[in-house]
């Protein structure tokens, strides 16, 4: 990724969900930035896990 760092919580949630990790890695840079930007309002681990699970169907 370019100048945007992945939030730790997102990285951990992706590591726990191999299907979502595979999907995330196949996204374009713009889509990855979109996913990362969407994490800014997530307040709990459970929300992050749900957000990451949604990556599979949303893209």
Q: What is the DSSP letter of 4?
A: P
Task: Tell me the per-residue pLDDT of 28-50, one tens digit each, with 9 for 90 and over.
Answer: 999 999 999 999 999 999 999 99
Q: Which of 59, 31, 25, 54 is nearest to 42 (CA)?
A: 54
Look at residue 4 in the predicted model and tell me its pLDDT: 66
Look at residue 3 in the predicted model and tell me its pLDDT: 55
Task: Tell me the per-residue pLDDT of 4-28, one tens digit each, with 9 for 90 and over.
Answer: 689 999 999 999 999 999 999 999 9
pTM above 0.85, yes or no: yes
For the chain, the domains span 8-58
Answer yes or no: is pLDDT of 1 > 50: no
Q: What is the average pLDDT value for the chain, to the nearest integer? A: 93
């Amino acid at each position: 990724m370019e100048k945007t760092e992945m939030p730790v919580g997102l990285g951990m949630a992706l590591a726990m969900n191999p299907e979502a990790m595979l999907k995330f890695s196949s996204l374009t840079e713009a889509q990855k930035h979109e996913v990362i930007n969407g994490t800014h309002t997530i307040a709990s681990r459970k929300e992050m896990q749900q957000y990451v699970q949604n990556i599979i169907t949303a893209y």
